[in-house]
Structure 1
Amino acid sequence: MQTQQQQLQVDGGTTLAVRRYQSHGEARASIVIGGAMGVRQSFYEPFAHWLAQQGLQVWTFDYRGSGDSLGDAPLRGFEADLFDWARDYEAVIDAAKAALPQQPLYLLGHSLGAQLPGFLQKPEQVDGLISIAAGSGYWRENAPQLKRSILYFWFFVVPLATRLWGYFPGRKLRKVGDLPRGVMLQWRRWCLNPRYSVGAEGELAARSYERVRFPVLALSMTDDELMTLAGTRSLLSFYAAAPSAVERIAPADVQAKRIGHFGFFREQFSQSLWPALLDKLQRLTSLTAVQQSGVAHTTV
């Protein structure tokens, strides 16, 4: 198996740090992993290695202004918002499609990585999305333990910290991670709106989500400390024209004490959750079939 690190040019002057994982022989599909807010692509490396060993070509990346895509540059004053991050995502999708144009291309979106595909300019390139531990992010749909403190975070911590530092110093505060000011303030607007990104950004955002026709399968963890089932269902409702389904996963299903918001990608699940994902890629194909008879939204 090979891992290639490369630089991808976006928007003329922006450079993304990208990794491509591929096994020997021709891959049967491409996978682009869209990371969660503040999570570096290195977090997904063991999972990406495993997928490549199953005959898939896997791509990971850091959004502009984060991780290896920021490098040694100062984050203070760095200009980026979530629409920029959606363009970063699409640039990696373009590269993955160009590398294997005849094979299907799937997205694995962790949290934010399942929200941003609603802003793709060319959603027709994508054959399906598996959403992992993702939802709308609206604060009233946060998990109870998060909801108790989140308004203090949004109304005091975020405005004060971004004003003082010129970016969001998440590492210092031990919350989320370091983020460009524009990303954090836009995310704040989304999370305070009952319709999240669609409500905060208006009709153009709603139309953008409605252009998505590829199937979406959402995996919702029963012990997710950040995201509730209600939030997951809200996110799927934005993809109004896409066939979709929700599968609930409990720790007891895989003889574990905990999965949570981040656990799916940990190596402890390489013999349980990860192999099951291959079957879920096949399920995306079956979801596509329902488009002939209308959009389906189901929960398992």
Structure 2
Amino acid sequence: MANFYSTDVTVICVDQFAIASTIYTPKKSLKGAILIGPATGIKRQFYASFAAFLAEKGYGIITFDNRGIGGSLTGSVSESDASLQSWGEKDMPAVLEHLKITFPNTNYHLIGHSAGGQLVGLMHNAKDFTSIFNFASSSGQLKNMPLPYAIKAHFFMNLFIPLSNTFFGHTKSQWLGMGEPLPKRVAQQWRAWCNSEGYVKASFGKTVHTHLYDELTTPSMWVNAVDDDIAINENVEDMLSVFTKIAAEKLTLSADDYALDEIGHMKFFSRQSQALWIHALNWLGKY
């Protein structure tokens, strides 16, 4: 019998947009509360096994779908005006506030996957996090990626996204096995940021006028995998360069060390990768 229960909830953002979320509530005494920030185009159900594991250990959890994705898509994806920036400035802050109301008077942690860790500096309430644990969060800078993967990445970003947006009004990323269909502005911003140094830094002073990237001093752990062609060490460093004051530790995992076939960019959160989850648990235990 599970030592937690889960409930689907709706989080209302500052602009009244409704975000589909799931709360995991432990039945034992609360150790802390965690926001799981999803990767670009990945639905919250992807993190269910990982969230259940942490809830079993006594942590309150919230998972969510960013606007334009999964349960947070209203109408046609081609009509969505979501952007990466709106995910960081509106969706994530609202989800954190809901987490704080649901589990008051405890420590709050971010566990970010790719974009879920990259966007934290756009959250006006990011200083409420006691700690940050990110997996595969990097700038995704195309010019640093190794061959032959760089060819695939350039094709997706610089050919597939513009063509798909032109012909369909959104990016059919699902055709390439890359999560849910992406709203046009999400894909456009993703492309622009991955073609630049420092990811979101490309929009500073343009569309991003207030942020906390140069203020956060939060203890953080940045985990990547040897077999991830996106969040390579150079791109992790490039992302960290935007967080000018953050206290960062780094850890690179190898699938061979855990008798796993792969970790890559996605498999850390897979049920088959439970051997890796001790790293998150140990980190949370320190904060």
Q: Same fold judged by TM-score > 0.5?
A: yes
Structure 1 pair 246–205 and aligned structure 2 pair: CA distance change class (3 A): farther
Name the SS of the counterpart of 1:4 in structure 2. strand
Q: Is the 8 A contact 1:109 1:131 kept in 2?
A: yes
Equivalent residue number for residue 212 of structure 1: 216
Structure 2 counterparts to residues 221-260 of structure 1, below 5 A: 221-260=225-264
Q: Is the 8 A contact 1:206 1:238 kept in 2?
A: no
Equivalent residue number for residue 84 of structure 1: 86
Q: Is the 8 A contact 2:197 2:238 kept in 1?
A: no
User: Separation in 2 of the partners of 1:260 and 1:275?
Assistant: 18
User: Separation in 2 of the partners of 1:188 and 1:254?
Assistant: 33
- Deviations, residues 113-164 of structure 1 (Å, cap 9, x unaligned): 1101011112221111101011111111234332123223223211111011
Q: Is the 8 A contact 1:119 1:205 kept in 2?
A: no
Equivalent residue number for residue 77 of structure 2: 75
Percentage identity across aligned positions?
26
User: Separation in 1 of the partners of 2:98 and 2:60?
Assistant: 12
Name the SS of the counterpart of 1:36 in structure 2. coil
Q: In angstroms, what is the RMSD of aligned CA positions?
A: 1.8
| Segment of structure 1 superposing worse, 15-24 or 247-256 | 247-256
Letter in 1 for 2:276: L
Equivalent residue number for residue 265 of structure 1: 269
Q: Is the 8 A contact 1:210 1:241 kept in 2?
A: yes
User: Separation in 2 of the partners of 1:105 and 1:207?
Assistant: 20
Name the SS of the counterpart of 2:77 in structure 1. coil
Q: Is the 8 A contact 1:82 1:183 kept in 2?
A: yes
Equivalent residue number for residue 189 of structure 2: 186
Equivalent residue number for residue 60 of structure 1: 63
TM-score, normalization by structure 1:
0.88
Structure 1 pair 100–13 and aligned structure 2 pair: CA distance change class (3 A): closer
Name the SS of the counterpart of 1:184 in structure 2. helix
Q: Is the 8 A contact 2:122 2:210 kept in 1?
A: no
Structure 1 pair 275–155 and aligned structure 2 pair: CA distance change class (3 A): closer
Letter in 2 for 1:216: S
Structure 2 counterparts to residues 100-139 of structure 1, below 5 A: 100-139=103-142
Structure 1 pair 198–4 and aligned structure 2 pair: CA distance change class (3 A): same
| Segment of structure 1 superposing worse, 1-10 or 144-153 | 144-153
Letter in 2 for 1:21: Y
| 1:149 maps onto 2:152 in alignment | yes
Alpha-carbon shift at residue 172 of structure 1 (Å)? 3.3
Q: Is the 8 A contact 1:34 1:112 kept in 2?
A: yes
Name the SS of the counterpart of 1:46 in structure 2. helix
Name the SS of the counterpart of 2:224 in structure 1. strand
Among 13, 16, 20, the alignment partner of 1:17 is: 20
Q: Is the 8 A contact 1:198 1:205 kept in 2?
A: no
User: Separation in 2 of the partners of 1:39 and 1:258?
Assistant: 19
User: Separation in 2 of the partners of 1:250 and 1:81?
Assistant: 33
Letter in 1 for 2:278: P
User: Separation in 2 of the partners of 1:152 and 1:53?
Assistant: 42
Note the residue ranges of structure 1 that are not aligned, 5 or more in a row. Answer: 286-300
Equivalent residue number for residue 54 of structure 2: 51
| Segment of structure 1 superposing worse, 176-185 or 274-283 | 274-283
Q: Is the 8 A contact 2:198 2:241 kept in 1?
A: no
Letter in 1 for 2:6: T
Name the SS of the counterpart of 2:79 in structure 1. coil
Name the SS of the counterpart of 1:220 in structure 2. strand
